[in-house]
């Protein structure tokens, strides 16, 4: 029970057919059950009132939830899921920033700058408790104040130096002076790269491989500028495993990883540890649940926040289950 002060909000996890936990969690409050970035429950299982899908990265499980009429996602997230998984999105959609009715609850939606269409959800319980579910975040400036925060911790380990970083925009800008080829995941990083290239004044065609091209054209529209299929005579943005197929003397993997065979340029879709702490100061929660990714990083951030005096738990410590 995430309780105290008369609260009536409970985080629960679904036990799957193998006896493990289904991804992420559901929030039970008043007479509602909202599932957060989880997979679709089998027919015999407890059914949530809604599947809130924060964005279309595969580790947020829209791939199966998109097949439920109870799924809720932004227009861009729904479209990205359709392109990525070649299936029809069955749920309802909204424009990011809109307030929507979800099972009789007024839910506000907020951009997080993580991917095109990425969304945080916020609402109030009947007793007035303000709930905020972040999803993955690059920009927290649009997030509202809350009492109960469900947050990510992709770079939340306070003791890991690799969780402290800045995007290397200078190196990216320098690479634009050459005929560079950038390795970027097709959804998320590829659109960030194209947006940055345009913001830095690059106006010529950008070559992309098929999936990246479709996603970028559909999700960015005119803002993407002129795009074409991969072409060695122009600047290219391709999925990392296609870097080897493009003729260019200047290849860079856009990532925070350091285990790649190509030179890297640090360009992250996430807040670093310091950014996550600033986000918490910005939304001023009374209580925190660190929900993604499951495991050590979330546990260590939860421990750190507890030491800072904030009531905090993490996904792995949830003790309420449904089948």
Measured from the CB of residue 136, what is the shortest distance to Zn ion in angstroms? 4
d(CA 20, CA 14): 8
Q: Which is nearer to Zn ion, 119 or 122 (CB)?
A: 119
Regarding 270 and contact with Zn ion (CB under 5 A), the answer is no
Min. distance of Cβ 112 from Zn ion in angstroms? 9
Q: How far is the CB of 10 from Zn ion (least distance, A)?
A: 26
Q: Could you say whether residue 189 binds Zn ion (CB under 5 A)?
A: no
Shortest CB 42 distance to Zn ion, Å: 25
Q: At what angle do helices 189-199 and 210-220 cross, to 10 degrees?
A: 60
**Least distance from Zn ion to the Cβ atom of residue 57, Å:** 3
Angle between helices 75-85 and 210-220 (to 10 degrees): 160
CB of residue 314 vs Zn ion: minimum separation in angstroms? 18
Please select the residue that binds Zn ion; options are 14, 32, 57, 70, rule is CB under 5 A.
57
Assess contact for 136 and 145: CB atoms under 8 A: no
Residue number with the smallest Cβ distance to Zn ion: 57
Three-state secondary structure of 116-133: CCCEEEEEECCCCCEEEE
Cβ distance to Zn ion smaller for residue 130 or 189: 189
For helices 273-283 and 296-307, the axis angle rounded to 10 degrees is 50
CA distances to 189, 249, 253 from 261, in Å: 18, 14, 9
29 or 253, CB closer to Zn ion? Answer: 253
Neighbour-count burial for 194-230, b at 16+ CB within 10 Å, e otherwise:
bbbbeeeeeeebbbbbebbbebbeebbeeebbebeeb
Interface pattern 130-149 for Zn ion (x via CB under 5 A): ------x-------------
Q: Which is nearer to Zn ion, 56 or 280 (CB)?
A: 56
Residues that bind Zn ion (CB under 5 A): 57, 136
């Amino acid at each position: 029970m995430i309780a105290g002060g008369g609260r009536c909000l409970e985080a629960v996890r679904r036990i799957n057919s193998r006896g493990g936990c289904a991804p992420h969690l559901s929030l039970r409050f008043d007479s509602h059950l909202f599932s957060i970035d989880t997979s679709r429950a089998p027919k015999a299982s407890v059914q949530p009132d809604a599947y809130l899908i924060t964005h279309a990265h595969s580790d947020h499980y829209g791939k199966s939830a998109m097949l439920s009429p109870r799924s809720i996602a932004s227009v861009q997230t729904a479209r990205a899921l359709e392109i990525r998984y070649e299936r029809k999105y069955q749920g309802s959609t909204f424009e990011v920033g809109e307030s929507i009715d979800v099972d009789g609850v007024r839910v506000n939606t907020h951009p997080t700058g993580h991917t095109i269409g990425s969304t945080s959800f916020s609402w109030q319980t009947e007793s007035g408790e303000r709930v905020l579910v972040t999803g993955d975040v690059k920009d927290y400036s649009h997030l509202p104040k809350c009492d109960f925060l469900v947050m990510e911790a992709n770079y939340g380990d306070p003791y890991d130096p690799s969780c402290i970083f800045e995007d290397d925009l200078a190196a990216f800008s320098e690479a634009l002076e050459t005929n560079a080829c950038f390795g970027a995941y097709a959804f998320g990083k590829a659109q960030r790269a194209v947006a940055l290239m345009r913001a830095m004044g690059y106006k010529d065609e950008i070559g992309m491989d098929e999936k990246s091209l479709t996603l970028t054209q559909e999700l960015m529209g005119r803002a993407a500028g002129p795009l074409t299929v991969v072409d060695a005579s122009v600047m290219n943005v391709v999925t990392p495993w296609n870097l080897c197929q493009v003729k260019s003397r200047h290849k860079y993997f856009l990532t925070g990883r350091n285990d790649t065979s190509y030179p890297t340029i640090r360009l992250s879709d996430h807040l670093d540890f310091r950014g996550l702490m600033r986000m918490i100061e910005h939304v001023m929660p009374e209580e925190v649940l660190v929900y993604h990714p499951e495991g050590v990083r979330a546990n260590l951030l939860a421990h750190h926040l507890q030491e800072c005096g904030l009531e905090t738990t993490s996904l792995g410590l949830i003790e309420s289950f449904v089948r």
